[in-house]
Amino acid sequence: MCGIVGYVGNRDVVEVLLKGLTNLEYRGYDSAGMALQDCGEVKIYKTLGKLINLKNELEAKKSELNHPTSGIGHIRWATHGSPSLINAHPHTCSCGRLVVVHNGIIENYKELREELIKKGCTFRSQTDTETIAHLVADEYAKAKDLEIAVRNSVKKLQGAYAICVMHKDVPDVIVGARKHAPMLVGIGENENFIASDTPAIIEYTKKTIYLDDNETAVVTKNSVKVTDKDGNIVEKKIEILPWEPMALSKLGYKHFMLKEIHEQPDVIRNVLNGKLYDIDSPINLSEVKLDKEILKKLNKIQIIACGTSLHAALAGKYIIEDFAGISVEVEASSEYIYRKTTTDASTLVIGVSQSGETADTITAIKQAKEKNAHVLIITNRPDSNMARLADSLIPVNAGIEVSVAATKSYTAQLISFYLLAINLAEIKGTLDKNYLKDIKHELIQLPTKIEEVLSNTSAIQECARKFSSYKNFIYIARGINLATALEGALKLKEISYINATGYAAGELKHGPIAMLDETMPVLSILVPGGITYEKVLSNSEEAKARNAKLIALTSSKDTNIDNLFDVVLRIPQVMEILSPAVTCVPLQLLAYYIAEFLGKDVDQPRNLAKSVTVE
């Protein structure tokens, strides 16, 4: 949510900022803007809607520009104040000489606003960000130094922020600061960059400095200075970004989401690479610091996550309890942080996040660390805030995921839970050796089975076409595939805006069955191999008796189920315990094709953000 990019150098500043913002579009936004330092003036351009509107605005007004040498750009996802030009970033102080862009939420902005109004500041917008502009301008009037003004200002802010500030009187200088929101500096030759995420700068440089909380960066064409909250210089390590710009290309696919769905077999191979060598060798998780002594002290595991990662966590609960015999609790991060938990030094806390910057989960992890819990992080971003907080780490190696709706990162998280659970089982000795070999063998075969699903999607497309006009859906499953039902329903909601709900199949008759009629399709996930297969069949019979249209997702070769279900989507045979890694793929495709048939913006659904960096 929201994206920042800044640049100081000799390139075409407008082009650099627009490309950077384009590469951050996947985060979700409703307005865009930039401020340019141009021959002693600060010029601001803002538009509503997609970034193309800002591009058109700049093209129409390019005659106004002489030779911009630095600038800051922003795409906004509305929090305070509706999407509007006046609320769009950048924001200025009363005199218009100072400009600010901001990610995050300032919790005490109302109190600060009242103080600044008393000092004569005139507010134009409904945002919390404008408060920062007036505050920094007030401090600059005292200090006559932009770096000091920013540092003194952020000490008064409560909440989360990543900000970039420019001032007319301080040409070609960008001052950035952060707390509980990501910000990095890109290092170039005779040019430097500042951004909220790496895709904004990866086309130009792979050398980065990651700011930590309460740090301030002064960025010029030829220098970068980082200081702590007291003004002491901090020596920062330059890190090398692992991604290529090609990761931001659709490679011929119509949408990033479809590309990322098709990348999943290789993603699984990447996750397994170096961790699962063969079925006779133990799992190698070098960054997981759990040994027999630590495990002896554990009395439980808590997994905390949000959204799609929460569904991966639910599958993780089934996997770990089944393989390692350790009690596991799963909770939404947003709930965990606002209640009295039983977390202690005997608890393993697992935080799951695609971006590693999810605000609620970061807060939860910090609370867990305060209680001396061992923290293990599963994330797609080993350079993220959460990864830096980790005692143990599993990087999921999914590569950058551009589509807002998570697909390949979800599958990578699932595989990471399998590897972790097997690792724990090997340390504890809780699995039969032959069964353990079977599981490893099946894990290695998963990419091929998913490729089989992806090679023939005609039945899924036909199902999507048949059901795209329905306004409501119910997904049901039992056991480990309950997570699949919840995730499948979420995907449909996210990108098609169809009201879809996942249920434990046994709960259907405890309320939801009242909604069933010919207008309510029910999708049943039933994988043979355990006692739940027959149970889900029975629950589907109950739905059929209420005239609901039925869709089956199954690996069963039993043709008798064709008489019960209106549509049967079949996947390759797979062990039930490992089936979520395969069953999720047809549901991702089903959601994708329904959304495409309905003409929705698949990669950037309304109101959603890729990385939710506010609580």
Tens of pLDDT along 371-391? 999 999 999 888 888 988 999
If one counts every other C-beta atom within 10 angstroms of the C-beta of residue 281, the result is: 9
In this structure, the strands spanning 300-305 and 328-332 are parallel
Which pLDDT band, with edges at 50, 70 and 90, does 28 fall under?
Answer: low
Strand partners, 378: 352, 394
The answer to whether residues 336 and 351 touch, using CB atoms and an 8 Å cutoff, is no
CATH number at residue 369: 3.40.50.10490
Q: Is the pLDDT of residue 609 over 70?
A: no
CATH number at residue 65: 3.60.20.10
Angstrom CA distances, 566 to 411, 538, 587, stand at 28, 16, 16
Q: Is 306 a catalytic residue?
A: no
Residue that terminates a domain, selected from 247, 272, 307: 247
Which pLDDT band, with edges at 50, 70 and 90, does 24 fall under?
Answer: confident
- Per residue in 316-372, pLDDT (tens digit) is 999 999 999 999 999 999 999 999 999 999 999 999 998 888 888 999 999 999 999
Of 6-10, 143-147, 381-385, 453-457, the least confident: 381-385
The answer to whether residues 22 and 200 touch, using CB atoms and an 8 Å cutoff, is no
Domain of 159 in residue numbering reads as 3-247
Residue that terminates a domain, selected from 247, 279, 305: 247
Average pLDDT for residues 409-414, to the nearest whole number?
Answer: 96
Same domain, 127 and 183: yes
Q: Where are the beta strands (DSSP E) in 231-363?
A: 239-240, 300-305, 328-332, 347-353
Alpha helices in 564-615 (DSSP H): 580-597
Q: Is 610 a catalytic residue?
A: yes
Which of 324, 328, 347, 349 lies closest to 421, judged by CA?
Answer: 324
Same domain, 165 and 67: yes
Average pLDDT for residues 107-126, to the nearest whole number?
Answer: 92
Residue 8 lies in a domain: yes
Higher pLDDT, residue 294 or 496: 496
Same domain, 351 and 475: no
Percent of the residues in the chain that have a pLDDT greater than 90, as a whole number: 72
Same domain, 445 and 462: no
Cα torsion through 76, 81, 85, 88, rounded to 10: -30
Average pLDDT for residues 129-142, to the nearest whole number?
Answer: 95
Residue 613 lies in a domain: no
Which pLDDT band, with edges at 50, 70 and 90, does 468 fall under?
Answer: very high
Pull the structure tokens for residue 123: 């507010």
Q: Is the pLDDT of residue 245 over 80?
A: no
Same domain, 281 and 182: no
Find the catalytic residue in 179, 259, 493, 610.
610
Evaluate the CA torsion angle 134, 138, 140, 144 in order and state its sign. Answer: positive
- Total structural domains within the chain: 3
Same domain, 278 and 316: yes
Q: Return the residue matching tokens 């434990």.
A: 504
- Per residue in 486-498, pLDDT (tens digit) is 999 999 999 999 9
Q: Is the pLDDT of residue 23 over 90?
A: no
Average pLDDT for residues 393-406, to the nearest whole number?
Answer: 88
Same domain, 216 and 261: no
Per-residue model confidence (pLDDT) at position 283: 93
Helices (H) and strands (E) counted in the chain, each on its own, are 18, 24
Average pLDDT for residues 448-454, to the nearest whole number?
Answer: 94
Same domain, 168 and 306: no
Residue 603 lies in a domain: no
The answer to whether residues 160 and 129 touch, using CB atoms and an 8 Å cutoff, is no
Residue 609 lies in a domain: no
Residue 615 lies in a domain: no
Which pLDDT band, with edges at 50, 70 and 90, does 11 fall under?
Answer: very high
Average pLDDT value over all residues in the chain: 91
Residue that terminates a domain, selected from 449, 483, 504: 449
CB-count exposure of residue 10 (10 Å: 0-12, 13-18, 19+): exposed
Per-residue model confidence (pLDDT) at position 244: 63
Q: Is the pLDDT of residue 251 over 80?
A: no
Which pLDDT band, with edges at 50, 70 and 90, does 611 fall under?
Answer: low
Q: Is the pLDDT of residue 182 over 90?
A: no
Which of 140, 216, 206, 208 lies closest to 175, judged by CA?
Answer: 216
Per-residue model confidence (pLDDT) at position 105: 85
Q: Is the pLDDT of residue 610 over 70?
A: no
Per-residue model confidence (pLDDT) at position 9: 96
Q: Is the pLDDT of residue 303 over 80?
A: yes
Q: Return the residue matching tokens 């993780």.
A: 316
The answer to whether residues 182 and 164 touch, using CB atoms and an 8 Å cutoff, is no
Q: Measure the CA–CA gap between 231 and 565, rounded to whole angstroms.
A: 68
Per-residue model confidence (pLDDT) at position 145: 96
Higher pLDDT, residue 82 or 138: 138
Residue 94 lies in a domain: yes
Same domain, 385 and 321: yes
Find the catalytic residue in 2, 93, 306, 463.
2
- Per residue in 555-564, pLDDT (tens digit) is 988 887 989 9
Residue 125 lies in a domain: yes
Average pLDDT for residues 43-68, to the nearest whole number?
Answer: 91
Same domain, 84 and 118: yes
Same domain, 66 and 181: yes
Which pLDDT band, with edges at 50, 70 and 90, does 140 fall under?
Answer: very high
Average pLDDT for residues 492-514, to the nearest whole number?
Answer: 92
Q: Is the pLDDT of residue 614 over 60?
A: no
Per-residue model confidence (pLDDT) at position 357: 84
Residue 473 lies in a domain: yes
Angstrom CA distances, 206 to 186, 200, 269, 276, 605, stand at 7, 11, 25, 30, 30
Same domain, 29 and 172: yes
Which pLDDT band, with edges at 50, 70 and 90, does 177 fall under?
Answer: very high
- Per residue in 193-219, pLDDT (tens digit) is 999 988 899 889 999 999 988 999 999
CB-count exposure of residue 607 (10 Å: 0-12, 13-18, 19+): exposed
